Amino acid sequence: MNLSKIQEIFSAQSKNYLILFALFILPFTISLSQISSDNNLLSPKNRLKFGDYLYKEKDYLRAAGEYKEYLKTSNNDTVQFKFANSFFKIGRFIEATDNFKGLFFNSLLSEEARLMFYESNFFRNNFKTFRELADQSNYKTVKYHDEIERLKFTTYFFDDAILPDENIILKPFPDSVQSQLSQFYYQKKFPKQKSITTAAIFSAIIPGAGKIYTGEIGDGITTFISTALSAYLAYTNFNADHQFRGWLFTGLTAFFYGGSIYGSAASAQIYNARIRFNFENEVKVYFEQRDYFLPKIDF
Amino acid sequence: MNIRLSIISFLLLFSLVSKGQDHLTLWYNHANNLFNNKLHYDAVTEYKRVLFFDSTKSYHYSANYKIGESYKAGAKFDEAIRYFSFAELNARDREEIFQTKAQIIRANILRKTTARAVQLCDELEKDGRFVDKRDTINYWRGWAFMFANEWQSAANSFALINPSHELKLLAERTEKAKVSVTFAKVISYILPGAGAIYSGKFLSGLMSLGWNALAGYWTINSFIEKRAFDGIVVGELVWLRFYRGAIRNAEDIAIEKNLETANKSLRFLQNEYKGIKP
């Protein structure tokens, strides 16, 4: 249908029809321009829409890609926050910290970005650096000061730094968790470990005693019996003039005896590692279940 | 007049929508190019973009299917199955439903959830819509059994397609080359080291036999010399240890031998077999 024919139709009809048609066609004209811009799937608007969809679907890496393209043309604090947070969510904490830093100044999300910056640094597991950062005044936040203090003192439970006084560490935490954290504090400060030297000396005096000291009672008794029996066999074989068997069992006795000393030292080491691992695991689960006492910030 | 206006409006609206869909087609083709060039990460992004903007759901089957294929190629089988399931929900005909179901079975084979793959094959076989697809179903069931290390069952499945099917012969060969773990253990009870020799480890078997003979001699000799306590202790500490060791060794060697045989066949399937693979 060409234009002249349409004009012919209009001229032939009443004014009311013309108005009606104009009213009818106007939204189409508007939507035509809208749809044609919408058709460009890579327009900033569509990038943002698609990025938000991916972000909601937890496809953070792809969402970050879309946000990155969007941010090339538009400046939007929320999008920049989500861009940085996408990296945080997939554990790329270095990129997350770099991008949260971009929101430190002249942004409505400055405080949240600072908190997330600290969170990203915390999860990089370099706790010494984190504590240094937490003490730096130029990155500090007023709104989330307590949260960062809590994170700073949480780090002491995860590394080998010298523990500050109990009251200092526990101060930023709520009353409801004070007794549990106090228990963790003393477990950390005075771990119930076994001495490697003591275990080895015990086994040197009585084979297997070191293992009993480290809690491996069954192993200790077995070691004692095997060493004693092989020593006895060496003795009886020498007595029966079986030189080869006598020396063989002597060697076996020496092997059991040496093994018992070494095994006891290793057992003490394993015991200590287990105590440490269990403690760290317990602390980690405890803090994870409470989201490290951090507020949930997301959009 | 109203009819004419309606026609004009319809044409306008149709042209707008079709223009959008044309653009989507171009984008879908772009995603296909990425997929064909094995750029699976980028392909998934673009297929997802197509899905997001596809208001008429024209690509909901094909894009989901391709995303599933991309994830499968990247060994992300859980994700692959998820998207094949989406594709199945949007399948338009019997053929498309079957294709997605077959892909789900193949992804299950690859992620070694072979019991699930076999279960899905059984379900497909019972489905009246796919009576003509029996060969394909048996083919993938055979593959599932091969990945589950059940070579005889695999051979049986391939035999249903063709009694002289290449994979049937391979599965039978593999089954024949395997040794019986139980037999290896039983003969080791009778003669220590015999199980290892049966599984092809002659040196290990002979050494086991030698150690047992020596320890047995010491034990018996102690009893002959009336040193009963020595005899009991040597018998318990040395001889019994070697005897039990020989049985355990025979079992381990037989299992290892079977694993080697199966791996050899799987390597052949991976590198030399020309047919369709999961």
Render pLDDT for A214-271 as a digit per residue (tens, 0 to 9).
Answer: 999 999 999 999 999 999 999 999 999 999 989 999 999 999 999 999 999 999 999 9
SS3 of chain B: helix, strand, coil, percent, to 5: 85, 0, 15
ipTM associated with this complex: 0.75
Chain B residue numbers touching A39 (CB-CB < 8 A): 19-20, 23
Contact A1 B8 (CB under 8 A): yes
Contact B48 A59 (CB under 8 A): yes
Least Cα separation, residue B189 to chain A (angstroms): 26
Cβ–Cβ contact A17 with B under 8 A: yes
CA distance A72 to B9: 38
Q: Which of A153-157, B10-14, B84-88 is predicted with the least confidence, judged by mean pLDDT?
A: B10-14
CA distance A178 to A175: 5
Q: How many CB pairs under 8 A join A and B?
A: 65
CA distance B180 to A118: 61
Chain A residue numbers touching B1 (CB-CB < 8 A): 9, 13, 17
> In this model, does residue B131 exceed pLDDT 50?
yes
DSSP state, residue A108: T
pLDDT band at A149; cut points 50, 70, 90: very high
In contact, B188 and B246? CB cutoff 8 Å: yes
Residue of B nearest to A12 (CA): B1
Exposed / middle / buried, residue A237 (Cβ in 10 Å: 0-12, 13-18, 19+):
buried
Contact A237 B27 (CB under 8 A): no
pLDDT band at B227; cut points 50, 70, 90: confident
Q: What was the pLDDT predicted at B237?
A: 83
Phi, psi (deg, nearest 5) at residue B161: -85, -50
> In this model, does residue A297 exceed pLDDT 90?
no
Chain A residue numbers touching B9 (CB-CB < 8 A): 24-25, 28
Average pLDDT estimate for B100-118: 96
DSSP state, residue A284: H
Tokens (6 digits) for B21 = 């869909």
Q: Which of A24-38, A153-167, B187-201, B238-252 is predicted with the least confidence, judged by mean pLDDT?
A: A24-38
Contact A240 B225 (CB under 8 A): yes
Q: Can you say whether the dihedral through the CA atoms of A259, A265, A270, A271 is positive or negative?
A: positive
Tokens (6 digits) for B64 = 């989901």
Chain B residue numbers touching A69 (CB-CB < 8 A): none
Q: What was the pLDDT predicted at A72?
A: 94
Cβ–Cβ contact A85 with B under 8 A: no
Average pLDDT estimate for B66-90: 96
Q: How many CB atoms lie within 10 A of CB A138?
A: 5
Tokens (6 digits) for B275 = 């047919």
Average pLDDT, chain B: 91
Provide the b/e sequence for B131-142 (b: ≥16 CB within 10 Å): eebeebbbbbbb
Contact A50 B53 (CB under 8 A): yes
Half-sphere exposure of A293 (CA within 13 A, CB side): 22
> In this model, does residue B18 exceed pLDDT 80?
no
Residue found under tokens 């020595």: B230
Contact A65 B45 (CB under 8 A): yes
In contact, B45 and B63? CB cutoff 8 Å: no
What is the number of residues in chain A? 299
Contact B49 A245 (CB under 8 A): no
Average pLDDT estimate for B186-212: 95
Chain B residue numbers touching A40 (CB-CB < 8 A): 23
Q: What was the pLDDT predicted at A19?
A: 56
Q: Which of A262-266, B118-122, B226-230 is predicted with the least confidence, judged by mean pLDDT?
A: B226-230
> In this model, does residue A32 exceed pLDDT 50?
no
Q: How far is residue B93 from each of residues A135, A138, B96, B241, B260, measured CA to CA in Å?
A: 65, 64, 5, 66, 44
CA B155 to chain centre: 15
Tokens (6 digits) for A222 = 């077995």
Of A73, A95, A76, A75, nearest to A85 (Cα)?
A: A95
DSSP state, residue A137: G
pLDDT in tens, B165-180: 999 999 999 999 999 9
* Rounded (10°) angle between helices A15-38 and A44-56: 60
- What value does the CA radius of gyration of chain A take, rounded to a whole number of Å? 36
pLDDT band at B21; cut points 50, 70, 90: low
Average pLDDT, chain A: 88
Please give the full DSSP string across B186-244, using - where no structure is assigned.
Answer: HHHHHSTTHHHHHTT-HHHHHHHHHHHHHHHHHHHHHHHTT-HHHHHHHIIIIIHHHHH
Q: What was the pLDDT predicted at A11?
A: 56
Q: Which residues, at least 6 apart from A53, have a Cβ–Cβ distance to it below 8 Å?
A: B52
Chain A residue numbers touching B20 (CB-CB < 8 A): 35, 38-39
Percent residues over pLDDT 90 in chain A = 75
CA distance B139 to A130: 58
Tokens (6 digits) for B12 = 């306008």
What is the number of residues in chain B? 278
Q: Which residues, at least 6 apart from A196, have a Cβ–Cβ distance to it below 8 Å?
A: A265, A268, A269, A272
Q: What was the pLDDT predicted at A1?
A: 46
pTM of the model: 0.76
